[in-house]
Amino acid sequence: MRLGIGVSEDLTIAIQQRIAEHVEAAGFTSLWTNEARGRDALLLCQAWAAATTDLQVGIGVVPIWTRSPAQLAMASATLAEASGGRFLLGLGVSHPATMAPGHGAEVVKPLTASREILTILDRLEAGERADFVGEVLRCEKFRLTISPLPPATRRYLAAMGPKMLALAGSDARGVLLNWSSPGEVERAAGIVRQAAVDADRDPADVEVAGYVRVAVADDLGAAKAALAAQIGQYAALPAYASHFARQGFGDAVERVKAAHKSGADAAGLAEALGDEVLDAFGWAATGADDPEPFLARYRDAGLDHLVARVVVSGEHAEDSVHAVVRALDTATAAR
């Protein structure tokens, strides 16, 4: 199982490059960010790539609604060239509640749109002219005029439901899971790999990757509280509430909602969720704790690439990133 680090904190480019250097020196495979309301994720990947030599740099995820297919193909190919083939592109449909107000974008037929963006990017990165008019997306009379063309970007599709998981297996180079327990990883990986077989692909060529939250602090209670606060934040989104419930944690969602409504702080949210739920969706630890039992659960479930998404515990985000890297670097050395 490959190990990566995921960050989303508001940190300057200089600090981000310092983090990238630390992550690479510690032996991790990859460093990922997401696109939300801060620095442009594509430009951040370029900054990481410039500061490192072997580290893969990825986005998990770019919402497919915020850039045209042609624009995304140009950026992706440019990053593939600039990074020497180290760029990883995660694509996702995001949520109507964030796409409409901030971007003026309408989320329409997400499964169809996901299939169409993968098709268009495949054609363009192969040097073909795109004359594509789909149900949702279009890209006509367009060809990348980049010579020589860089190698095609490894593209991951963010997926939770069975149809999107199957699409990742049949049309993408990987799937990117989020907030998935080891049991859910096993179920999802089975769908992805079977879809690859059904599409006459080698399932080993489709990587099953996943964000798994990791909070590391000197005080274990503080780490648990930070992890619980993130679970509570995502449980407020209908898609993730349903995702948690499908995994058998519907009662936990209701408990954390009730605790939040009653004004509970992060420690109160952790108490409402309980250790079983916290352990199912991440790892809350001190720097002295052994990460191997946590990693083994995901490795045994069939995860190919675990991205330890940093949960900030304390006032300084950079300190939390480095604490997670140090806590897991023994595992990278053992690989």
Model confidence pLDDT, tens digit, residues 187-234: 999 999 999 999 999 999 999 999 999 999 999 999 999 999 999 999
Give the C-alpha separation, 69 to 73, whole Å.
Answer: 6
Model pLDDT, residue 76: 97
30 beta partners: 4, 56
Classify 137 as helix, strand or coil: coil
Model pLDDT, residue 289: 96
Q: Would you say 169 and 191 are in contact if contact means Cβ atoms under 8 Å apart? A: yes
Q: CA torsion, points 146, 150, 156, 157, in degrees to nearest 10? A: 20
* Predicted TM-score of the model (pTM): 0.95
pLDDT confidence tier of residue 97, bands split at 50, 70 and 90: confident
Upper half-sphere CA count for residue 191 (Cβ side, 13 Å)? 17
Give the C-alpha separation, 138 to 70, whole Å.
Answer: 9
Percent of the chain with pLDDT over 90: 87
Q: What letter would DSSP give residue 239?
A: H
Model pLDDT, residue 330: 72
Is the pLDDT reported for residue 106 higher than 90?
Answer: no
Per-residue CA distances from 45 to 51, 67, 86, 197 (Å): 10, 17, 10, 32
Classify 149 as helix, strand or coil: coil
Q: What is the arithmetic mean of pLDDT over 246-266? A: 92
Of 98, 2, 124, 107, nearest to 58 by C-alpha is 2
Helical segments of 110-181, H only: 110-125, 162-171
Single-letter amino acid code for the residue at 144: L
Give the C-alpha separation, 123 to 126, whole Å.
Answer: 5
Model pLDDT, residue 333: 61
Is the pLDDT reported for residue 335 higher than 60?
Answer: no
Q: Would you say 256 and 227 are in contact if contact means Cβ atoms under 8 Å apart? A: no
Model pLDDT, residue 118: 98
Domains of the chain listed by start with CATH number: 2-217+286-334 (3.20.20.30), 219-282 (no CATH)
pLDDT confidence tier of residue 105, bands split at 50, 70 and 90: confident
Of 169, 158, 153, 176, nearest to 93 by C-alpha is 158
Model pLDDT, residue 334: 56
Question: Which helix or strand (DSSP H or E) is residue 152 part of?
Answer: none
Taking the mean position of all CA atoms in its chain, how far away is CA 3?
13
pLDDT confidence tier of residue 261, bands split at 50, 70 and 90: confident
Model pLDDT, residue 237: 85
Model pLDDT, residue 9: 83
Is the pLDDT reported for residue 139 higher than 70?
Answer: yes
| Paired sense of beta strands 56-63 and 87-92, if any | parallel
Is the pLDDT reported for residue 95 higher than 80?
Answer: no
